[in-house]
């Protein structure tokens, strides 16, 4: 699961999407892409295998576009390739989708809704965008209704950002078990899988909860559950430290993070020091640990390995 950035507003979107994706780059990915809609309503899709630097080479910055979606992919279904890179488009070209996560019932969706659709890649995501197009065959449905019908049948984890080329004034999003936020600006909105990607644009964010879908324009956003209840939720101020955003003098985030470890440990220890400088574990933490019959360490990547070490220390110390 990797990165999503979407933007609808007044500024040239290509650079916003690419620099947003670059902020998420250190997490790792195998391919990347952006999709933009220009002022005349024409669509432009750019995808590359490999680095965002390579994607930059193929993006046309002269397209006058102020809305678009971007993605860095960490393949779960299908090899890393241009055909499997996101954004994915429906066969008729109407819908374009980026997705973080894993669709569990992709085979069933394909068999039920897309028996005659020739897919161009092997991802679960391309199946979803074509399922959306399938529901659009009913001319009576609005984009919101089409998206909702698709969300009702999709099972699994997803953060989606969707564009319907028939309505280049609106950006759509939905979330279930994969992170996604709305960023609120003065005359624009963003969606991002992490505020870090767009914190340079705005520090005002609104959470999207599992099972919710979102409609965004330049000036408005509206959240509803997939079952149709309207949700009102106020923005909060994201406190991402701008210094954390940049690698600074370091060639890699990993080196920066290793170097930061003494400072981070000091900060954690200070948190539990009393005025005499002695370690003082808060009572509620002590009680919670004493009352627990087991401890789960939840982690992935490097912290997964650190978790194993922590398990070893805890078991040794606790006998």
Q: d(Cα 174, Cα 95) in Å, to the nearest integer?
A: 15
How many residues belong to the site for ligand GLU (CB under 6 A)? 16
Residue 161: in which H helix or E strand, if any? strand 156-164
- Token pair 């397209």 is at which residue? 63
Least Å distance between CB 316 and ligand GLU? Answer: 37
Least Å distance between CB 96 and ligand GLU? Answer: 14
Least Å distance between CB 290 and ligand GLU? Answer: 39
155 close to 105: Cβ distance less than 8 angstroms: yes
DSSP bridge pairs for 162? 97, 172
DSSP bridge pairs for 306? none
Least Å distance between CB 162 and ligand GLU? Answer: 14
Least Å distance between CB 3 and ligand GLU? Answer: 8
Stretch touching ligand GLU by CB under 6 A, among 95-103, 129-137, 211-219, 256-264: 95-103
Q: What is the DSSP letter of 211?
A: T
Least Å distance between CB 192 and ligand GLU? Answer: 14
* Range list of H helices, 154-271: 242-245, 253-271
Single out the residue of 49, 99, 148, 189 in contact with ligand GLU (rule: CB under 6 A): 99
Residues in the chain, how many?
319
Residue 24 lies near ligand GLU (rule: CB under 6 A)? no
Task: Write the DSSP assignment of 84-130 as a string of letters.
Answer: TSSSEE-TTS-EEEEEEEEETTHHHHHHHH-TT---SS--HHHHHHH
Q: d(Cα 283, Cα 99) in Å, to the nearest integer?
A: 43
Nearer to ligand GLU, 39 or 177 (CB): 177
Near ligand GLU in 275-304, by CB under 6 A: none
Near ligand GLU in 101-140, by CB under 6 A: 101-102, 123-125
Least Å distance between CB 221 and ligand GLU? Answer: 23
11-16-17 Cα angle (round to 5):
130
End-to-end CA distance of the chain: 38
Site string for ligand GLU, 42-81 (x = CB under 6 A): -------------------------------xxxxxx---
Q: d(Cα 214, Cα 208) in Å, to the nearest integer?
A: 8
Nearer to ligand GLU, 70 or 185 (CB): 70
Single out the residue of 89, 90, 100, 130 in contact with ligand GLU (rule: CB under 6 A): 100
Single out the residue of 2, 24, 151, 182 in contact with ligand GLU (rule: CB under 6 A): 2
**Pairing mode, strands 88-89 and 181-184:** unpaired
Nearer to ligand GLU, 1 or 199 (CB): 1
Least Å distance between CB 176 and ligand GLU? Answer: 13
**In the complex, which residues of this chain contact ligand GLU (CB under 6 A)?**
1-2, 73-78, 84, 99-102, 123-125
């Amino acid at each position: 699961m990797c990165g999503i950035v979407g933007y609808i507003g007044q500024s040239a979107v290509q650079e916003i999407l690419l620099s947003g994706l670059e902020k998420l780059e250190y997490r790792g990915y195998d391919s990347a892409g952006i999709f933009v809609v220009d002022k005349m309503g024409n669509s432009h899709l750019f995808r590359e295998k490999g680095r965002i630097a390579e994607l930059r080479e193929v993006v046309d910055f002269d397209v006058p576009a102020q809305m678009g979606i971007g993605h860095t992919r960490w393949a779960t279904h299908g090899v890393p390739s241009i055909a499997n890179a996101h954004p994915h488009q429906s066969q008729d070209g109407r819908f374009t989708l980026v997705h973080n996560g894993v669709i569990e019932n992709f085979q069933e969706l394909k068999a039920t809704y897309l028996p005659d659709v020739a897919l161009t890649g092997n991802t679960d995501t391309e199946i979803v965008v074509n399922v959306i197009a399938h529901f659009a065959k009913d001319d009576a449905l609005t984009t919101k209704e089409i998206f909702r019908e698709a969300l009702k049948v999709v099972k699994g984890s997803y953060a989606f950002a969707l564009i319907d080329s028939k309505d280049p004034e609106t950006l759509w999003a939905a979330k279930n078990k994969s992170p996604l936020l709305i960023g609120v600006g003065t005359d624009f909105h963003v969606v991002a899988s992490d505020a870090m990607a767009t914190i340079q644009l705005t520090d005002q964010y609104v959470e999207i909860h599992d099972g919710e879908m979102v409609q965004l324009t330049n000036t408005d956003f509206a959240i509803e559950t997939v079952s149709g209840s309207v949700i009102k939720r106020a923005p909060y101020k994201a406190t991402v430290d701008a210094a954390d955003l940049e690698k600074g003098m370091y060639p890699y985030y990993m080196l920066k993070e290793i170097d930061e470890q003494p400072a981070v440990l000091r900060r954690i220890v200070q948190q539990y020091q009393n005025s005499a400088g002695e370690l003082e574990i808060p009572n509620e933490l002590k009680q919670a640990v004493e009352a627990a019959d087991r401890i789960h360490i939840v982690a992935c990547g490097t912290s997964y390995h650190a978790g194993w070490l922590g398990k070893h220390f805890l078991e040794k110390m606790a006998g």
